[in-house]
Amino acid sequence: MGKWWLRSTSMARELLILLRKSEEGRNLFNMLLALINRYCKGVIVEGVETIDEWIQVQNSPACAAQGYYFARPMPFDQFSALPPHLI
């Protein structure tokens, strides 16, 4: 089977929540991200809302994260008010 590549893909918050419920799920989270990374150039974890979720994502193969932990939804013209490390 030939390889196909995506630029990046995202993991929904619902899956993050489900996998965080058990030690087995937390281990599966990293394995799943590693597998997805074989077929795309990065996984963005959606819906990071707590410091514990952010720490888990930082210690995973994810390339990026987004969610209320970083900022609430806002109009594009307000992006310049965000700290540079979040843009």
Tokens of 21: 């419920």
Query: Which among 51, 66, 73, 87 is positioned nearest to 12, based on CA atoms?
Result: 66
Kindly tell me the burial class for residue 54, based on how many C-beta atoms sit within 10 Å of its own C-beta (0-12, 13-18, 19 or more): middle
- pLDDT tens digit sequence for 30-42: 999 999 999 888 9
- pLDDT tens digit sequence for 53-70: 999 999 999 999 999 998
Cβ(30)–Cβ(49) below 8 Å: no
Q: Is 1 helix (H, G, I), strand (E, B) or coil?
A: coil
More confident residue, 68 or 5: 68
